[in-house]
Amino acid sequence: MANNISLTRYLVEQQRVDGSIPSQLRLLIEVVARACKSISHAVNKGALGGVLGAAQTENVQGEIQKKLDIIANEVLIEANEWGGHLAAMASEEMEDIYVVPNRYPQGEYLLLFDPLDGSSNIDVNVSIGTIFSVLRKPEGAAVSEADFLQSGSQQVAAGYCVYGPQTTLVLTVGRGVAMFTLDREQGSFVLTQEHVTVPEDTQEFAINMSNMRHWDAPTRRYIDECLQGADGVRGKNFNMRWIASMVADVHRILTRGGVFMYPWDKREPNKPGKLRLMYEANPMSWLIEQAGGASTNGHQRIMDIAPAQLHQRVSVVLGSKNEVERLTRYYGEHSAQP
Ligand code: AHM
Ligand code: MG
């Protein structure tokens, strides 16, 4: 790989090769990356910047917002509203869509984001991140929430930025997955890995084990078998990791394989899961699939789900292909039981 390929150069060259990044989309990705740089800066300052702790507000999901949730949301909106590349935005932290104000030109794209994923890790100095997904605005009338209700397979770009020991931006526009590391001296994202692949097999799973008693039967069976290790039907030992920041767990899986699960559970039986389809599960599913992995809700490919609501939740199993397929089989066998 050539040295020092900036995100800008990567995007320009990619457009030349296969036409996959028209100029409005390139501007959009660059602006999101710039916003992530600014969020990374705020995250790094921590207590010195007065950004830790809770705000006195709740978001649409009924969760207490952290100061950084709000800061990151504002940074993304302010960075993206004026460039003419977007028609509207939607965020985990806002109940309604944010339509680009009249004083700015409207573009052809829609941006969705979880501005600060892993909020419970902010104050304990553990990796957190920003997740984003880009859709094309359907032709026609003024932009509305209904325009956002497209399946994940309609995404034109998706990615995340993880604020960890390094700040890394991970991106797909449908031609594989590329990773860019923030060079703080240059102030730019530099390409550090292309053609990211998730190994088909793994011996590592990620799930919040404290919810075990609430799980459904297929999840229990799968994890039980992993825990039996070399003595059980799997005939091999498994390791476990759970960071409680989806960005960090997915980043590990893109780096060395594994399977990530946040299944439906009995704590809130009327909700399909904890994670949100539009700005968490869909972008992560596309990245994982683009890297050769798989992603399902147990019954259906996540990116085939037709969304009914902006803040819809979903059960998530994603990562190394053979493990995801095994779990899908367990779901199939379970629902086939009388
Ligand atoms: P958030 O977007 O409000 O931070 O919530 C999503 C996070 C995911 O990043 C992570 O996988 C999960 O919630 C952790 O949940 P739990 O604390 O139940 O283990
Ligand atoms: Mg989140």
Alpha helices, H only, the chain: 7-18, 23-45, 67-80, 217-228, 246-256, 282-290, 321-336
Six token digits for residue 188: 């730019």
CB atoms within 10 A of CB 154: 14
Residue 168 near residue 127 (C-beta atoms within 8 A): no
Q: Which of 17-31, 50-64, 272-286 has the lowest mean pLDDT?
A: 50-64
Q: What residues are in contact with ligand 1 under a 6 Å CB criterion? A: 63, 92, 114, 117-120, 208, 244-246, 262
Looking at all shown ligands, the one closest to residue 58's CA atom is 1
**CA proximity to 73, closest of 125, 30, 115, 135:** 115
Residues β-bridged to residue 14: none
- CA 116 to ligand 2 center in whole angstroms: 7
CA pair distance 53, 215, nearest whole angstrom: 31
More confident residue, 64 or 110: 110
CATH architecture of 7-193: 2-Layer Sandwich (3.30)
Find the mean pLDDT for residues 68-79: 96
pLDDT score at 338: 61
Q: Does the pTM exceed 0.85? A: yes
pLDDT score at 259: 98
Q: Is the pLDDT of residue 20 over 90?
A: no
Residue 220 near residue 38 (C-beta atoms within 8 A): no
Looking at all shown ligands, the one closest to residue 61's CA atom is 1
Q: Identify the band that residue 2 occupies on the pLDDT scale cut at 50, 70 and 90.
A: low
- Domain 204-336 coded CATH 3.40.605.10: no
Q: Looking at ligand 1, which residue's alpha carbon is closest to its atom 7?
A: 118
Domain locations in the chain as residue ranges: 7-193, 204-336
Q: Is the pLDDT of residue 337 over 80?
A: no
Q: Looking at ligand 1, which residue's alpha carbon is closest to its atom 12?
A: 244
pLDDT tens by residue, 132-191? 999 999 998 899 999 999 999 999 999 999 999 999 999 999 999 999 999 999 999 999
CA pair distance 236, 124, nearest whole angstrom: 34
- CA 97 to ligand 1 center in whole angstroms: 22
Q: Identify the band that residue 57 occupies on the pLDDT scale cut at 50, 70 and 90.
A: confident
Find the mean pLDDT for residues 49-72: 88
Q: Which of 136-145, 192-201, 251-260 has the lowest mean pLDDT?
A: 136-145
| Average pLDDT value over all residues in the chain | 96
The residues, any chain, with a CB within 8 Å of residue 332's CB and separated by 6 or more, are none
By percentage, how much of the chain surpasses pLDDT 90?
A: 92
Looking at all shown ligands, the one closest to residue 247's CA atom is 1
pLDDT score at 64: 82
CB atoms within 10 A of CB 180: 23
